[in-house]
Amino acid sequence: MFRKLIISVWGFCLLNLKAMRENNIENKLIDFIEKNIENLRYPEQEAFNYICHENVKYINLKYMMVPMWIRPDISNHEINPQYYSLYSEEDILSAFLHPVQIHYASWLKPWNSFQCDHFADWIEALSRTIFLQEYLSNLQNIQQKKLYQSIKNYNKNRINYFRYRLFAKLCSGKKQERYLNKSLELEHEIQLVKSLKD
């Protein structure tokens, strides 16, 4: 198994293709994925992290801000501690408040949830397009289906939420990150149903 590294999100990156060709990076990436496919959750991203980690220059976090990993209302050290080895707390908060590009890395996205971070920004951008009316007419059906699923799964979600929080405390590395992310996703659904009960 490959060693643990700082995880970089590769959704926004610049690649030196000449250097990649000179160093046979494409074949190294393919070879790494073939040998480790059973242990990879995001094969291309993890391959780049492993093969290229010594040659990565990190850009400002605002160009690839992941809201579920960066939350101003809870301890980010708990959600994604590797960011704190690359960025200061001030840089992370600045990226959250003033993102250039947002990567919604879960089912929770502004076009399907009002609880999503930066929902207002998304709606404002949508309002400047010809698609706003279509979105609003479809929104009611989408929200009703999601709400029905959230209510139907409320008790199961509560149990899984506590289970994932417990597993996150018992695990480390990628498994810990995975359980924390799952618990955050369920937390939004649970809060939605609780607000309806009140």
pLDDT tens-place string over residues 57-66:
888 888 888 7
On whether the CB atoms of residues 171 and 179 are closer than 8 A, the answer is: yes
Q: How far apart are CA 63 and CA 14, in angstroms?
A: 12
Percentage with pLDDT > 70 across the chain: 75
Instruction: Indicate whether 192 pLDDT > 80.
Output: no
For the question of whether the overall pTM of this predicted structure is more than 0.85, the answer is: no
Q: How far apart are CA 119 and CA 111, in angstroms?
A: 8
In the chain, alpha helices (H): 17-22, 25-36, 43-52, 76-79, 89-97, 119-127, 132-152, 154-170, 173-197
Instruction: Indicate whether 168 pLDDT > 90.
Output: no
The pLDDT value given to residue 26? 93
Of 5-9, 124-128, 187-191, least confident by mean pLDDT is 5-9
The pLDDT value given to residue 71? 57
